[in-house]
């Protein structure tokens, strides 16, 4: 039987030791994994350190246009946070390990909270391009489960409960910040597919009847791994396009990246307030 992503990995331990030695008493409490269009949120934050992924043994270069491969340490009002600029995806064909490593590394360096961001195709009638959606729950349609295989981590249960995979308290906090800062936040269910092809209009109609509000190709494996190892998770999608068939335009990765730009000011305020408020 092969191991699942939940294994004892000397590269993760070594990478965490490397970062702890570099950052000393600057202990991060929250980490953000940036999806398409989200990397620019870091420009408004106080960056203390930048480490290219190739200097961190357990991390690997991203292969997607627009994804940088750098880890940032930023200062928040009462703590520190990690920002992963660039993520790996299942459609890259390299299995689950590269997707799991940033999540496992966050845990190993002592983070307690994980914010997962992405660009997603809107399905819900009430969504428009540029909307931000707090992920209330997800549907895993990736065709596989990242937790399959031998689980070597005694701290992670064999059968993780997924009733509250996205932390209700963090969702409430995001909504409160949205109200205070007049940032409209939609809520919904994120349905994840393996990609890399965008969906057909018939598939989107099928997912709509199954309760999906938005579709994408990431986030779900990281949320499942984070949940299994006990990290509190918040998921935020930027609706970069309306999904196939709802939008009459052909879809492209360029459009996905470009359409998040208009929402950048709101993304930046939301993220910086979240980092200052999460303890
Ligand atoms: N489908 C799948 N993934 C996506 C989409 C989409 O329409 N937009 C951004 N990521």
In the set 92, 136, 203, 258, the catalytic residue is: 92
Ligand 1 atom closest to residue 251's alpha carbon, by position in its atom list: 7
For the question of residue 91 being annotated catalytic, the response is yes
Residue ID of nearest Cα to ligand 1 atom 3 = 216
Residue 106's SS3 state is helix
Of the pLDDT bands very low, low, confident and very high (cuts 50, 70, 90), residue 153 is confident
Is the pLDDT confidence value at 253 over 90?
no
Name the average pLDDT for the chain: 94
Q: Which of 123, 112, 118 is nearest to 135 (CA)?
A: 118
8 Å CB contact between 174 and 270:
yes
d(CA 246, CA 226): 32
For the question of residue 253 being annotated catalytic, the response is yes
What pTM was computed for the model? 0.96
Ligand 1: which residues within 6 Å by Cβ?
Answer: 119-121, 198-199, 215-217, 240-241, 243, 251, 256
For the question of residue 36 being annotated catalytic, the response is yes
- What average pLDDT does this structure show over 223-242? 97
Is the pLDDT confidence value at 279 over 80?
no
The pLDDT of residue 66 = 61
8 Å CB contact between 204 and 244:
yes
Is the pLDDT confidence value at 157 over 70?
yes
Residues of the chain with pLDDT > 90, as a percent, come to 84
pLDDT tens per residue, range 69-119: 999 999 999 999 999 998 999 999 999 999 999 999 999 999 999 999 999
What is the CA(157)–ligand 1 centre distance, in A? 32
- The residue with greater pLDDT, 3 or 49, is 49
Contacts 24+ apart (CB under 8 A), 49-53: 49/22, 49/23, 49/73, 51/19, 51/22, 53/86
Q: How do beta strands 232-242 and 28-34 pair? A: unpaired
- What average pLDDT does this structure show over 224-245? 97
> In a mutational test of the pocket of ligand 1, which residue from 64, 199, 202, 244 has the highest number of ligand atoms less than 8 Å from its CB?
199
Report CA-CA distances (Å) from 23 to 32, 83, 127, 275.
Answer: 18, 14, 41, 18
Of the pLDDT bands very low, low, confident and very high (cuts 50, 70, 90), residue 67 is low
The pLDDT of residue 115 = 98
């Amino acid at each position: 039987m092969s191991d699942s992503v939940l294994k004892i990995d000397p590269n993760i331990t070594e990478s965490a030791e490397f970062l702890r030695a570099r950052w000393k008493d600057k202990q991060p409490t929250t980490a953000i994994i940036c999806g398409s269009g989200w990397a620019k949120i870091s420009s408004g934050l106080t960056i203390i350190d930048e480490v290219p992924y190739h200097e961190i043994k357990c991390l690997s270069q991203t292969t997607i246009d627009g994804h940088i491969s750098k880890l940032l340490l930023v200062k928040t009002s009462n703590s520190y946070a990690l920002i992963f600029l660039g993520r790996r995806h299942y459609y890259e064909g390299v299995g689950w390990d590269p997707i799991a490593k940033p999540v496992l590394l966050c845990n190993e360096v002592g983070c307690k909270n994980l914010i997962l961001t992405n660009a997603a195709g809107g399905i819900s009638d009430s969504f428009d391009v540029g909307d931000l959606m707090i992920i209330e729950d997800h549907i895993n349609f990736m065709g596989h489960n990242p937790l399959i295989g031998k689980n070597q981590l005694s701290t992670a249960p064999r059968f993780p409960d997924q009733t509250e995979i996205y932390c209700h308290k963090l969702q409430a906090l995001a909504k409160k910040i949205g109200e205070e800062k007049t940032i409209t936040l939609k809520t919904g269910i994120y349905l994840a597919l393996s990609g890399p092809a965008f969906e057909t209009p018939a598939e989107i109609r099928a997912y709509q009847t199954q309760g999906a509000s938005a579709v994408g190709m990431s986030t779900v494996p990281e949320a499942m791994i984070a949940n299994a190892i006990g990290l509190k998770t918040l998921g935020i999608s930027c609706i970069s396009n309306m999904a196939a068939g709802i939008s009459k335009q052909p879809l492209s990765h360029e459009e996905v990246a470009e359409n998040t730009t208009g929402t950048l000011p709101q993304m930046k305020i939301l993220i910086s307030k979240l980092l200052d408020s999460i303890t």
